[in-house]
Amino acid sequence: MENRHEVPALSIDEIVCMMPPTELPSAEEHERREWLIRVLGDQVCRQLGIYRIPEDLVLSVVIPV
């Protein structure tokens, strides 16, 4: 029989409550995104759909008629 220790999943609010005030993100979207990537890691952020988008990205959309 395996002896596994399961770690309970934490919500974002629980993670934020555990952070010292100096580690909390500012109101800027870029800084919040970088903070989430630093705290949660690239893999988790990718699963949540949180990505770094280049400032010079140009998105073109073609809608067929």
Between CA 17 and CA 28 the distance in angstroms is 19
What is the pTM assigned to this prediction? 0.49
Between CA 37 and CA 62 the distance in angstroms is 32
What pLDDT is recorded for position 36? Answer: 86
Domain range list for the chain = 9-65
List pLDDT tens digits, range 18-58. 766 655 556 687 888 888 888 889 999 999 898 888 889 99
Q: Where do the H-state alpha helices sit in 1-65?
A: 12-18, 29-40, 42-48
Q: Give the pair of three-digit tokens for residue 16.
A: 């934020």
